[in-house]
Structure 1
Amino acid sequence: MIFLGCGFLFAFLRRYGFSSIAFNLLIAAVGVQWAVIVNGLLLNFQDGFVQINLMSVVTATMSIVSVLISAGVLLGKVNPVQLIFMTIVEVTAMATNRWIVTEFLRIDSHVAMMNVHIFGAYFGLTIAWLHTQPILATEIKRSKERSEPVSDLFSMIGALFLWMFFPSFNSMLVQNIAEKKNAVYNTYFALAVSAVTAFSMSAMTSKNGKLNMNHIRNAALAGGVIISFSAYMIQFPWIAMTLGLLAGIVSVHGLNYIQTCLNSVFEMHDTCGVHATFGLPGILGGAAHAILLLTSPWEDFTTLGYHALVHVGALCFTLFLSIGVGLITGIILKFKWWRAPQDWKYFDDQAYWEFPHLARKL
C-alpha cells in the first residue's frame, strides 16, 4: 500500500510520472527509518533501549501514510530535499500526537493511528497555503497539471491496490480477533458503497453524463477513510454502508467545488485533491466515531459521553497540531536556500531527471 499503491495513485500528472513514483519511494524509505526511531523513543522505550520488532516496523510504515498524503498536496511543486525535511518534521509531529493521545487521553492505539488521514491532509494544506503559488499564470503551465490516458491508467492501478488492501490497514493494529474481523468486513462494505457512489455522483455532476476518472480513483477510497475510526466497533453492515455512501458523496462534491474554492479563494493549491479524499472523510469519520460511542449499548450514558468527548478532543488536538506544525514547516520551506522550483518548473520531470531520448546532439 505504501510503496506501490500511493506511488502509482499520485502518478496521474502526464509529465511528472517519474517523480511521483520515485519520490514516493524516497520519502517512504526515509520516513520508515525515522519513524522507527521516533516511535521507539516515545512509545517503545524500555530499559534504556528502543524496542524494535515486527509490529514496531509495521507501525512505523503505517505512520508514513500522513507524509504521503501531505506530499500529494504538494505534488510537483517542491523538490526532493524539501520533501525529506517535511518527512522528518511530520513523522516527529505525528508520533508526538499519537503519544499524547494514547498516554494522556487514553485513546486506543489503533484508533489514534487513524488520525494519519486528518493529520496528513491538513499539514499538507497548511504548507501549500504558505509555500506554493496557487494559480498558475498561463495555459502552458496549466497544461502540465493535466493527465493523459496512460497516466490516469497508472493512477487507477494505485487506487485499485489501495482499495483492495485498505481493510488490512484499518484492522492491522486491532488486537481483539472479533473486532479485527469487524474492521475487515466493515471496511469492505464502506469501500464497495463509496465506489458505487463515486460512479453515480460522477455521472450526475458531469454536464454530459460521462464519468471522470479523477472522481472514481479518489472517491472510491474515501469509504476506507471515513470508516477507519469505527470499523472495529460497528455491528451492523448498514451503518458501514451508510458511511461509505456519505464519503462518496462528500468526496465527489469536494473535488468538484471545494478544491476549486481552496485554490481560487484561499490560495491553497491541492494537486491531488487530498482534502476531498482524506481530509473531509477523515473528519466525518471521527465525528461518526463519537456518535457511535454515544449509542454503544455496553456502558451507561455518562461513561459513553465522557469517551465521546475525549475522542472529539483528540480529533481537535490532531487538527490544531497538524495546522500549527504545518505553519512552522511552511515558513521554513519558504527560505531561499531550499532552491524551490519556480512555478514554470511545476509538474515537470525534466527539472530532476535525465531524459537521454530527448537529448539533442550538437
Structure 2
Amino acid sequence: MSSNYRNFRNNVPWLILFLEAVFIVLFYFLFSDDSAYRSSISYPAFQDVSHMVIFGFGFFLTFLKRYGFSSTGFNLLIIVLGVQCSMLIEGLLVFLLQRQKEDGLKRITKAAVSMTAVVISTGAVLGKTNPVQLILMTVVEIIVFHMSTWINNIFLQVPDNISMMHVHLFGAYFGLAVSSRFFEPSPRSEKNASTPKSDLFSMLGILFLWVFWPSFNSVLAVDDKRKAIYNTYFALAVSAVTAFMLSVLTTKNGKFRMTHIHSAVLAGGVTVGYAAHSIEYPWIAMILGLLASVITILGSYCLQRCLNPALKIHDTSGVHFTFGLPGVLGGLAQVVLLVIKNWTNLPRVGYLVMIHIGAFCLTISVALITGFITGLILNCKLFKTIPVSKYFEDQFYWEFPHLAVGF
C-alpha cells in the first residue's frame, strides 16, 4: 500500500493544481465583463440547489460503512472542480457560437445543476475509483453533457431548461457504462454493506434532497416557477407515501426496508422534472409520483437479480432504478402529456413526439457510448486502478484511525 500511497500523493495534488491554473487563466479571458454581477435568479434559489448538490448528495452516498469520509469528501472535491469546468464550457460555447451572455448567478446555477449528472454517475462507481479517476471522469462527463444539451438545443430545438433536466438520465447511464468497465466486488464482501449509522447519514441526505428538489425543478423554469414547485412537491409526497406502502408489502417480514425508502422517495421529483412547469393539475403529478415509486421499487428487484448480473454491472448506489428508470418514465410521461395537450393538431403532435423522443434517445446513447469509452480509459495502468481487495475503504486515502476502533 505504501508505494500506491506515494503514487496517489504525487499525482492528485499536481493534477488539481494544473486544472486550477487552467481554470484561472480561462476565467480571465472569458469572464472579464460585468455580466457576472447581474442576476435573473435569486440567491435563495441558487442556495437551494447548492445545498442539494453538496449536502444532499454528499450524505446520500454515505451508506457504505467504511467509505463515509471518501463519499462526502470526494463529492465536495468533484463538485467545486466541476462547477468551474462547467462554467468554462458554457462560456466557450457562448464565445464560439456568439450566443447571448447570461448573468453570473444563472451561469453558476446551471453549472451546479449540470453537476448533478456527475454526482449520480459517481454513485454507480462509488468505492471503486481513486481521486484521479474521479476528477478525470468529472471533466469528461461535464464536457460531454454540455455537448449533448447543445445538440438538443441547436438541432432538436429543445428548450434549454428542458434539456438541462436530462441530468438524471445522462448521469445514470453514463455511470452505469463506466461501472461496467470495473471489476465486480465479491458478493460476500463485508465492506460493500451498510450499518445503522451509515444508513442514518444516508437518510439525512435523502431528506435534504427531498426538501430542495422543488427548487431544483423550478430554478431554470421559464414559464411558471410556482407551478413547477407545486407539482414537484405533490409528486414527491405521493412517491414517498407509496415507497413506505410498497416497502411493507414486498418484504417477507412485513417491515419497512431502508433501501426502498432511499431509492423511491425521490422518484416522483425525478419523473416530473421535464414537465413540472406545464402540468395543469396536481392530480397528474400525483399519479406520476405513484408510478415512479412503483417502477423504482419493482425495478430494483428486476435489475439487481436479473439484468445487472447478466451484464456484469455493479451499481453501488442503485442509480439505475433511483434515477435512470424514473427519468425514462418522466420522458414517456412528457410525450403522453404533449399528445393529450395537442391532440387536435396531428401534424404538430407528430413533430413534438419525434423531437422529444429523439432528445431522450440521443441523451441515453451519448451517455452510454461516452461512458463506456471513459471507463476503458480510466482502467488504463496509468491511472492505477484500485485492486478489488481495496474497494470501499477510506483508509486507503484518509488519515483517520476510525477503522481500528470499530467506527
- The answer to whether the superposition gives a TM-score over 0.5 is yes
Q: Secondary structure at the match of 2:180?
A: helix
The yes-or-no answer on 1:143 pairing with 2:190 is yes
Structure-2 change in CA distance of 1:248 and 1:65 (3 Å): same
> What is the distance in 1 between the residues matched to 2:250 and 2:342?
40
C-alpha distance after superposition, 1:68-104 (max 9, x if no partner):
0000000000001100000000000000111110111
How many pairs align? 354
Query: What TM-score does the superposition give when structure 1 sets the normalisation length?
Result: 0.94
The yes-or-no answer on 1:202 pairing with 2:247 is yes
Q: Secondary structure at the match of 1:348?
A: coil
The yes-or-no answer on 1:157 pairing with 2:207 is no
Structure-2 change in CA distance of 1:349 and 1:302 (3 Å): same
For residues 41-56 of structure 1, what are the structure 2 equivalents within 5 Å? 41-43=92-94, 53-56=104-107
2:139 to 88, 92, 110: 88
Which one-letter code corresponds to 2:55 in the other structure?
A: L
What is the deviation of 1:48? 10
> What is the distance in 2 between the residues matched to 1:172 and 1:45?
26
2:93 and 2:99 in contact (8 A); partners too: no
What is the deviation of 1:205? 0.8
Unaligned runs of 5+ in 1: none
1:61 to 112, 130, 141: 112
> What is the distance in 1 between the residues matched to 2:191 and 2:297?
23
Query: Hey, what does 1:240 align to over in structure 2?
Result: 285
C-alpha distance after superposition, 1:37-90 (max 9, x if no partner):
001212466879976611011001100000000000000000011000000000
Query: Hey, what does 1:27 align to over in structure 2?
Result: 78
1:78 to 129, 138, 146: 129
2:185 and 2:391 in contact (8 A); partners too: no
Which one-letter code corresponds to 2:334 in the other structure?
A: H
Structure-2 change in CA distance of 1:358 and 1:172 (3 Å): closer
C-alpha distance after superposition, 1:189-223 (max 9, x if no partner):
11001001111111111010111111102200111
Query: Hey, what does 2:54 align to over in structure 1?
Result: 3
> What is the distance in 2 between the residues matched to 1:32 and 1:46?
21
Provide the identity percentage.
Answer: 49
Query: Hey, what does 2:322 align to over in structure 1?
Result: 277
2:179 and 2:314 in contact (8 A); partners too: yes
Query: Hey, what does 1:117 align to over in structure 2?
Result: 168
Structure-2 change in CA distance of 1:300 and 1:210 (3 Å): same
Query: Hey, what does 2:306 align to over in structure 1?
Result: 261
What is the deviation of 1:340? 1.4
Query: Hey, what does 1:320 align to over in structure 2?
Result: 365
What is the deviation of 1:134? 2.2
Which one-letter code corresponds to 1:221 in the other structure?
A: L
1:342 to 375, 387, 394: 387
Which one-letter code corresponds to 1:246 in the other structure?
A: L
Structure-2 change in CA distance of 1:303 and 1:289 (3 Å): same
> What is the distance in 2 between the residues matched to 1:250 and 1:206?
16
Which one-letter code corresponds to 1:165 in the other structure?
A: F
What is the deviation of 1:143? 1.2
Structure-2 change in CA distance of 1:246 and 1:58 (3 Å): same
Query: What TM-score does the superposition give when structure 2 sets the normalisation length?
Result: 0.83
> What is the distance in 2 between the residues matched to 1:219 and 1:43?
38
Structure-2 change in CA distance of 1:117 and 1:359 (3 Å): closer
C-alpha distance after superposition, 1:105-124 (max 9, x if no partner):
11111110011000000001
Unaligned runs of 5+ in 2: 1-51
For residues 299-310 of structure 1, what are the structure 2 equivalents within 5 Å? 300-310=345-355
Bigger shift: residues 248-257 or 163-172:
248-257
What is the deviation of 1:301? 2.5
Structure-2 change in CA distance of 1:358 and 1:204 (3 Å): closer
Bigger shift: residues 38-47 or 303-312:
38-47
Structure-2 change in CA distance of 1:150 and 1:356 (3 Å): closer
> What is the distance in 2 between the residues matched to 1:100 and 1:160?
34
Query: Hey, what does 2:274 align to over in structure 1?
Result: 229
Bigger shift: residues 298-307 or 321-330:
298-307
Structure-2 change in CA distance of 1:278 and 1:207 (3 Å): same
> What is the distance in 2 between the residues matched to 1:161 and 1:207?
30
Structure-2 change in CA distance of 1:79 and 1:57 (3 Å): same
1:288 to 333, 345, 361: 333
2:395 and 2:403 in contact (8 A); partners too: no
Q: Secondary structure at the match of 1:4?
A: helix
What is the deviation of 1:256? 2.5
Query: Hey, what does 1:17 align to over in structure 2?
Result: 68
> What is the distance in 1 between the residues matched to 2:196 and 2:341?
47
1:6 and 1:158 in contact (8 A); partners too: yes
Bigger shift: residues 74-83 or 249-258:
249-258
Structure-2 change in CA distance of 1:75 and 1:313 (3 Å): same
1:216 to 250, 256, 261: 261
